[in-house]
């Protein structure tokens, strides 16, 4: 394999050796030209964990850290991102009250923040249901999301946000109130026009235009690595593949690749991206 000429960073990917292809998927990413990945913790239920306190998320986070170590041995740089999936609120409130669900999720975020402070993870993850969950659940979710923003402010780290499609203007206001720079609040699965930092799925058509204007953006696959859901998302090669397609078509330059995959990533997450 020839050494890569520029870094390629997947801003949001999951690798799951238990329920998915695991290291084979990471090898696919590497072979396609990937160099760095933000490895995001999976929802607790996908690992068979039913949390009843915040510290129960340790099982989920320790698994993410373990997998990060395995993937790093392949020669990739792996930055773990830990947090609580916004859809956990619906799962949890099937068996405990909404107020208790909020407390468990906030506790999970406190637990994740501990990993960031210890240097085991680089960022947090939170959000609110991307589906219509009703006003009560939405307001409870915003409460959890605000807590996540406060934790990100405390840890001086970035926060990935999983939320409904659209600009999420109010989340920018929440970030200001919590004291987190808006450009460190990453809208996962972004659509153009959000005031948050956009992480685009690696098929977004507007990327070349945005990059030409030096609009900060990153790219992700949101590959879930679940054998039970093949084709639910695009594959682990998609970020390097799309980057190389855009490059080959002359729609972006090598300099643009450094802007997307290194400079912007360093700015948003405060981590180094070197070849």
Residues 156-175 binding Zn ion (CB under 5 A) are: none
To which H or E segment does residue 13 belong?
strand 9-13
1, 34 Cβ separation under 8 angstroms: no
Nearer to Zn ion, 123 or 257 (CB): 123
Q: Which two tokens stand for residue 49?
A: 């964990």
Question: How many residues at the interface with Zn ion, by CB under 5 A?
Answer: 1
Neighbours of 1 (CB within 10 A): 7
Spatial CB neighbours of 253, under 8 Å, sequence gap ≥ 6? 247
Looking at beta carbons only, is 219 or 252 nearer to Zn ion?
219
Site string for Zn ion, 215-254 (x = CB under 5 A): -------x--------------------------------
Residues of this chain, 187-216, that bind Zn ion according to CB under 5 A: none
CB of 196 to Zn ion, least distance (A): 16
Torsion of CA 112, 264, 219, 240, to 10 degrees: -110
**Could you tell me the smallest distance in angstroms from the CB atom of residue 132 to Zn ion?**
20
Contacts 24+ apart (CB under 8 A), 253-256: 254/5, 254/6, 256/208, 256/211, 256/212
Question: Closest approach of Cβ 176 to Zn ion, in Å?
Answer: 26
Q: Which is nearer to Zn ion, 221 or 259 (CB)?
A: 221
- Residue with nearest beta carbon to Zn ion: 222
State the nearest-atom distance from the C-beta of 218 to Zn ion, in Å.
14
The smaller minimum CB distance to Zn ion, of residues 204 and 222, is found at: 222
Within 10 A of 232 (CB to CB), how many other CB atoms are there?
A: 10
Q: Which is nearer to Zn ion, 185 or 211 (CB)?
A: 185
Q: List interacting residues with Zn ion (CB under 5 A).
A: 222
């Amino acid at each position: 394999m020839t050494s890569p000429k520029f870094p390629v960073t997947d801003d949001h990917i999951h690798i799951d050796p238990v329920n998915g292809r695991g290291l084979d998927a990471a090898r696919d990413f590497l072979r396609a030209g990937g160099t760095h990945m933000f490895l995001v913790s999976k929802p607790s239920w996908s690992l068979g964990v039913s949390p009843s306190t915040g510290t129960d998320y340790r099982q989920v986070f320790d698994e993410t850290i373990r997998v990060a170590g395995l993937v790093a041995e392949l020669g990739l740089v792996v930055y773990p991102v830990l947090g609580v999936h916004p859809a956990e609120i619906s799962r949890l409130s099937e068996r405990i009250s909404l107020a208790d669900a909020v407390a468990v999720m906030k506790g999970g975020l406190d637990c994740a923040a501990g990993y960031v402070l210890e240097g085991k993870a680089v960022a947090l993850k939170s959000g609110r249901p991307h589906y219509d969950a009703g006003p009560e659940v939405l307001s409870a979710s915003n409460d959890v999301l605000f807590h996540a923003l406060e934790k990100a402010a405390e840890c001086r780290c970035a926060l990935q946000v999983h939320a409904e499609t659209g600009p999420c203007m109010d989340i920018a206001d929440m970030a200001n109130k919590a004291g987190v720079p808006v450009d460190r609040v990453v809208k996962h699965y972004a659509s153009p026009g959000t005031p948050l930092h956009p992480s685009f799925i690696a098929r977004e058509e507007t990327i070349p235009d945005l990059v030409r204007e030096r609009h900060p953006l990153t790219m992700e696959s949101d590959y879930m690595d679940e054998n039970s859901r093949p084709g639910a998302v695009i594959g682990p090669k998609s970020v390097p593949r799309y980057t190389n397609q855009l490059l080959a078509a002359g729609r972006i330059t090598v300099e643009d690749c450094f802007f997307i995959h290194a400079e912007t990533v360093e700015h948003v997450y405060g981590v180094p991206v070197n070849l």
